[in-house]
Amino acid sequence: MKIRKFQDSDINQIVTLFYETVHTINARDYSADQLQAWAPKGEKIAKIANWKVSLSHNITYVAEINGEIVGFADMTPEGHLDRLYIHKDYQGQGIAVALMNTIEADARKLGLTEMDTEASITAKPFFERQGYQTIQLQVVERNGVNLVNFKMTKLLSN
């Protein structure tokens, strides 16, 4: 596995990975209506354009195996872990931990002492294993549908 910085040319693979992962892996914790609100298939072209901008502005890494993107993560310069998604066929192989370690190393270099994220029901146990603490349960509305997630933070050690 190779971890490298995001390039604009990665965007199509990343957005496809996001849709496939949400609609497959998160299906155990969210209804079909919730998955469609979270990752509406009709918004893929808009998401490609919007995410290309935000991923370029954030600190973003991709994980590759044999040239295929199998995961990605991004963090704002203020320490908000915005996205962390692993390909549906590569779950449980340490990819998320490797991406998280890379992002956290950058956060420390920036002098940050804390990171935060908004974790799905599905991702919450992973974040807890990485030392994140739940601050609060949140109900967010997307496209008229309520979704539960968790505001979580982690203190970074030097």
In angstroms, the Cα distances linking 103 to 6, 34, 78, 110 are: 12, 29, 12, 11
Domain span at 88: 2-112
- Domain count of the fold of the chain: 1
Answer whether 152's CB lies under 8 Å from 118's CB.
Answer: yes
Q: What is the pTM of this model?
A: 0.95
pLDDT (tens digit, 9 = 90+) per residue, 84-104? Answer: 999 999 999 999 999 999 999
Whether residue 90 is contained in a domain is answered as yes
Whether residue 75 is contained in a domain is answered as yes
Three-state secondary-structure class, residue 145? strand
User: Cα separation of 83 and 100, whole Å?
Assistant: 11
Whether residue 126 is contained in a domain is answered as no
Whether residue 7 is contained in a domain is answered as yes
Whether residue 120 is contained in a domain is answered as no
pLDDT (tens digit, 9 = 90+) per residue, 105-157? Answer: 999 999 999 999 999 999 999 999 999 999 999 999 988 999 999 999 999 98
pLDDT (tens digit, 9 = 90+) per residue, 39-97? Answer: 998 888 899 999 999 999 999 999 999 999 999 999 999 999 999 999 999 999 999 99
User: Cα separation of 24 and 120, whole Å?
Assistant: 14
CATH number at residue 18: 3.40.630.30
Whether residue 147 is contained in a domain is answered as no
With a CB cutoff of 8 Å and minimum separation 6, the contacts of 9 are: none
Statement: residue 158 has pLDDT above 70: no
Whether residue 70 is contained in a domain is answered as yes
